[in-house]
Amino acid sequence: AEPVTLTIQIDETITPEFDAVGPFCEGAAIDDLPLVSNNGITGTWSPAIDNTTTTEYTFTPDAGQCATTATITITIDDNIIPTFDAVGPFCEGADIAALPLVSNNGITGTWSPDIDNTLTTTYTFTPDEGQCAIETYLEIVITSEITPEFTRIEDICQFTSAPTLPATSNNGITGTWEPAVINTDVAGTITYTFTPDPDQCATVAYMDIVVIPELIPEF
């Protein structure tokens, strides 16, 4: 018999190639991975996409392609919670500065709704895109103003000794009076103004004090 030859062709194994994917913020929507590689290999991926944790995914080529498995890692970055210093409380009607547009940990964003200095309100900070940060909230407490209350001073006879004006109201507000003392030298009704000390969320109060004219006996 004559010798014969037989050629066996060995094709090189192809490694599927893919573009990098991610990173993504935790919870972001992630598209399905492509079922055809950049160099034309078809196949399937496992496991299913997980948008909560960094995961390595394996691409298994379909049979008959002389291709190896390939892997791709999708990095999931943790979401940052913006942090801010506490603000307030404030008295009703007080001037409140605009809230900061950059958090203590460097997150930029915007606040809503607009500042309301009449009502306790929770404000929402929405981070700008591309920062892997989530919304956060800040409550500003608005305290209603208190009206100082005083027991009315009875009418006083002219030129007699007058009581001292109280430095603390019946409902606990401290402050000062203008005029500071009751003048009984002048007959008539005089309005005394009580101005609360700072940081008490209290309004100005008034008290009318009547000085009765001295009667001169007539004979």
Strands 70-74 and 76-77: unpaired
The structure's pTM equals: 0.68
Tokens of 159: 């030129």
How many percent of the chain have pLDDT more than 70? 100
Cα-based distances in Å from 23 to 52, 76, 112, 161, 194: 12, 6, 29, 84, 64
What pLDDT, on the 0 to 100 scale, is given for residue 10? 84
What pLDDT, on the 0 to 100 scale, is given for residue 215? 77
What pLDDT, on the 0 to 100 scale, is given for residue 214? 85
Binned at pLDDT 50, 70 and 90, residue 143 comes out as: very high
Residue closest to 136 by CA, chosen among 187, 182, 85, 172:
85
Binned at pLDDT 50, 70 and 90, residue 218 comes out as: confident
Residue 15 CA to residue 101 CA, distance in Å, equals: 48
Q: Average pLDDT over the chain, rounded to whole?
A: 94
Strands 136-140 and 121-127: antiparallel
